Chains A and B, each alone.
Chain A
């Protein structure tokens, strides 16, 4: 089954430049995780996302296009990256999620991919 691990973290972790050292350390933690994912041959895709300050929202209502600056939700933790994995079941997906550094300083949402009928 395919799952996507959505990494939600407080953006202050990355944007606060007074903590450059800390940032380096945090990002470095993803190195071994990614390597382990690749070694296990379970990863189908992954990406880190730019901060929500660089995000733009688009909405079409009553035929009119609306473009808005910034993130949709004003919550403390924001989607900061994702890993698409293929594993046998939820337990396997959960154990990868638990290894993801984001689980420690934020939270990881595990969502099954909606299998499309062809």
Chain B
């Protein structure tokens, strides 16, 4: 083995892992119905590749090579575990299915079916995003736990339980029928967006795991929009993510201080990415079926337009928030809507439009609610109350740079 060949083999393995991991897992799981066994088989195939490829050179079709090894391993495992009659029948079916596809030129892409299983309504909503990251991208439980601020042991246990449920409860590994698709796709999109938001909470990208998570979520969003090009919400969600991602560098000064949207320099935004977002949103619009993600993307588009041109477009923004609130009834949307009302009718009107904490107790722990309230109170000249609202917002924020920003706002209030 020479060092150069080793490097190359490792490089190829990494590349295949990233590009094909989900495809290979999805292929194995849809045929064996056993998640853990498919992952084990694939892990072994990758381990063997690391030994074999540096010695014998990379195979012409690395994906097929890995699948052949994993397939053999999955079948051996099954045989080892089950020796009864039913098992013999199942085994024949499984190996037949695996053989048939292994001889095909291209491995069929069943990642979307896998994603639908991960986001099935029978799976606990909180574990859907982590499960998808593991199933489709092969992220390990430790990485996922860190990104979701959870304990590695707890996360690992919940992932195992969810995979067992897919197998034992007979959760189907297929794309739902047309009449069900829209409802079920929502859960898939929500899980991907949850992964994106988790990554997004580290705005400087100081934490490599969190920064990666936004990239991984973008990868999944692109995948869904490629596999379901006729779904406007899939396109809308990808657009929404791109609008946010295009501004990631402008959210911080060189010294790392937080810059709110209104003070960002539009020249620092990623223009190509924004153009892609605009195009996606326009394409979604032609499909004439509005939804939460398209509305949120449209709001981002309106903010980008205003900041770039200096044309105040608050009536349009308010209209979009009205539509979004009618659709979701979310107190988070209501909070942002109140800020738009304040731009049009003054801070008092904005304060009156703020949602009541009694309506949703979670608001009491929601930093942007208190920051918005503080901002409006300050503008209305109610300084003591504004100070208290800033205090709560500061206490609830986990990003130090945003905390410092809020502290500066609080300190600028007249005594």
Contact = CB atoms under 8 A, between A and B. Distances in A.
A112 B122 CA distance: 13
Interface stretch (B165-173, B338-346, B363-371): B165-173
B85 A112 contact: no
A21 B413 CA distance: 69
A91 B180 CA distance: 10
A117 B86 contact: yes
A112 B166 CA distance: 11
A1 B170 contact: yes
Contacts of B176: 91
B86 A89 contact: no
A118 B169 CA distance: 20
* Residue from B87, B172, B176, B180 whose CB has the most chain A CB atoms within 10 Å: B172
Interface in A68-118: 88-91, 93-94, 112, 115, 117-118
A112 B84 contact: no
Contacts, number: 30
Contacts of A88: 170, 172
Interface string B63-86: 000000000000000000010111
Interface in B363-386: none
B172 A89 contact: yes
A113 to B, nearest CB: 10
A118 B85 contact: yes
A90 B169 contact: yes
B170 A93 contact: yes
Contact of B172 (A90, A112, A118): A90
B86 A112 contact: no
A89 B84 contact: no
B363 to A, nearest CB: 30
Contacts of A3: 170
Classify chain B's interface size.
Answer: 10 to 19
Contact of B171 (A90, A115, A118): A90
Given A90-B122, A91-B176, A112 B169 contact: yes
Nearest to B120: A90
Contacts of B86: 115, 117-118
A114 to B, nearest CB: 8
Interface string B110-134: 0000000000101000000000000
Interface string B146-184: 000000000000000000000011111000100010000
B171 A89 contact: yes
A117 B84 CA distance: 7
Contacts of B84: 117-118
B295 to A, nearest CB: 29
A22 B180 CA distance: 33
A3 B171 CA distance: 12
A1 B170 CA distance: 7
Nearest to A1: B170
A88 B169 CA distance: 11
Interface string B85-100: 1110000000000000
Most buried by A among B120, B168, B169: B169
A35 B265 CA distance: 67
Contacts of A94: 122
Contacts of A115: 86
Contacts of B172: 88-91
Contacts of B180: 91
Interface of A: 1, 3, 88-91, 93-94, 112, 115, 117-118
Given A112-B169, A118-B84, 14 more contacts: A1-B170, A3-B170, A88-B170, A88-B172, A89-B171, A90-B120, A90-B170, A90-B172, A91-B171, A91-B172, A112-B168, A115-B86, A117-B84, A118-B85
Interface of B: 82, 84-87, 120, 122, 168-172, 176, 180
Instruction: Give the 6 A-B residue pairs with the shortest CB-CB distance, closest first.
Output: A89-B172, A1-B170, A90-B170, A117-B84, A89-B170, A90-B171
30 contacts: A1-B170, A3-B170, A88-B170, A88-B172, A89-B170, A89-B171, A89-B172, A90-B120, A90-B122, A90-B169, A90-B170, A90-B171, A90-B172, A91-B171, A91-B172, A91-B176, A91-B180, A93-B170, A94-B122, A112-B168, A112-B169, A112-B170, A115-B86, A117-B82, A117-B84, A117-B86, A117-B87, A118-B84, A118-B85, A118-B86
